[in-house]
Amino acid sequence: MWKGRFQQPTSALVQRYGESVSFDWRLYAHDIRGSIAHAKGLEKIGILTTDERQSIEDGLLGIKADIDAGSFTWSIELEDVHMNIESELTKRIGPAGAKLHTARSRNDQVATDIRLYTRDAIDQISHLTRDLQRALVECATRGQDAIMPGYTHLQRGQPVYFAHHLLAYVEMLDRDASRLADTRKRLNVLPLGSGALAGSTIIIDREFVAQQLDFDSVTQNSMDAVSDRDFAAELLFDIALLGVHLSRLSEDIILWASAEFGFIALADAHTTGSSLMPQKKNPDVAELTRGKSARLIGNLTALLTLLKGLPMTYNRDMQEDKEPLFDSLDTINLALEVFAEMVSGMDVNREKTAAAASDPLLLATDLADYLVTHGVPFRQAHEVIGKLVHHCLEVGTTFHDLTVADYQQFSPAFESDVTTVLQMDVALAARQGIGAPSPKNVASRLAQWRETLSV
């Protein structure tokens, strides 16, 4: 493609080092779509005749069919997906194929292809994220009545519903879906027509081409257009944070599935055994997901590091943007899909969660709140209940074993109704604030999510 300037062919070693077709071939459908739109733009300004444009379109669709069927031969001598397709097109249809690259560069071409590809990828990730939300809502609905301890510092804190815990991840995933939607809006701007860096003297109707490709608008600075990979970095951040959320859910599932907790049972189909210990049932899906989140963070770091020292405009370093992007897309898609399947087969062990939630100390804060409603300042109430907890641990008793007189030794504000605070159903029903885990709130939020997600 640059034989006019160079007198020697590119070294075979340089070709091997510089080729990208081994991984950017996956852009072929988007490259072909972008080229068809570009051809229509060239036809509109008279560079191509209608017959030439139609010949180009038919030729490109024929190439696409061959690639779809796996019968297309890729050549590293042609470096990338773009030149492989353009070269084959010219072979098939002749001079009209050589006109296709008029008024564009590989710089704005690849920038367009990546945006098209990434836009479709976001739609797929968003769909799979919603599927996982649905699986969590379904699982929460099945275990709606199960009570478990909520934890801080991995120490038992206060009682919550199992469903409330799962719905926390539904909320996280909803923010992930929102971020993906925002990223999609920002990337949906057409760079094609920016040329190598300074546009072209052959003026194409860029708004027309944008309409052909369903872009909302066109870029306004040709230098920025060809060098911008903000959208890729933003998407890799979205994916990395989504991976972190999956990793946190994985950690809960790994703990819950252990013999020490026993809060859930995972289906055999989503666990593995041990080659040595026949009794083992390992939560490998959750462990792998927890591990793969590190790759997602690493890919984001790789892209940001790649971009941070680049001058305007396009630099060949930017070829390295694709592999981290492709890897993260492949990883998160599979993780979301398998996680949704695993959660759909996950059941809560009500006996185990109830036994853990029966720890009377989980209601220590409720006793402090009781004193507050009886006129005791909270900091003083906190100290009183702290001493009460210490007393129970020291003598080996529980809140339930204490008499009203025992309570009154710690504060005269305790009255005969103090024992009602220690009833789990009363304690949970009292948590009526917005977002708190009362039975009414949990049921309402589940209903809202079922409606939103069409569960």
For tokens 């027509």, the residue is 193
Token readout for 35 is: 């080229």
Residue type, 122: I
Alpha helices in 70-212 (DSSP H): 81-93, 95-99, 106-142, 162-187, 206-212
Nearest to 32 by CA among 55, 54, 61: 61
List, as own/partner pairs, every contact residues 251-258 make where C-beta atoms lie below 8 angstroms and the sequence separation is at least 24, other chains included. 251/286, 251/290, 252/165, 253/283, 253/286, 253/346, 254/283, 254/286, 254/287, 254/290, 257/281, 257/283, 257/286
Annotation says 274 is catalytic: yes
CA distance 325 to 336: 17
Q: Give the C-alpha separation, 326 to 18, whole Å.
A: 18
Nearest-angstrom CA–CA distance, 234 and 156: 37
Q: Of 283, 326, 276, 353, whose CA–CA distance to 114 is shortest?
A: 326
In whole angstroms, what is the distance from residue 58 CA to residue 95 CA?
Answer: 14
Distance CA 391, CA 400 (A): 13
Looking at 75, 258, 274, 444, which residue is catalytic?
A: 274
Residue 256 and residue 264 in contact, taking contact as beta carbons nearer than 8 Å: yes
Task: Point out the catalytic residue in the list 71, 153, 275, 454.
Answer: 153
Active site residues: 153, 274
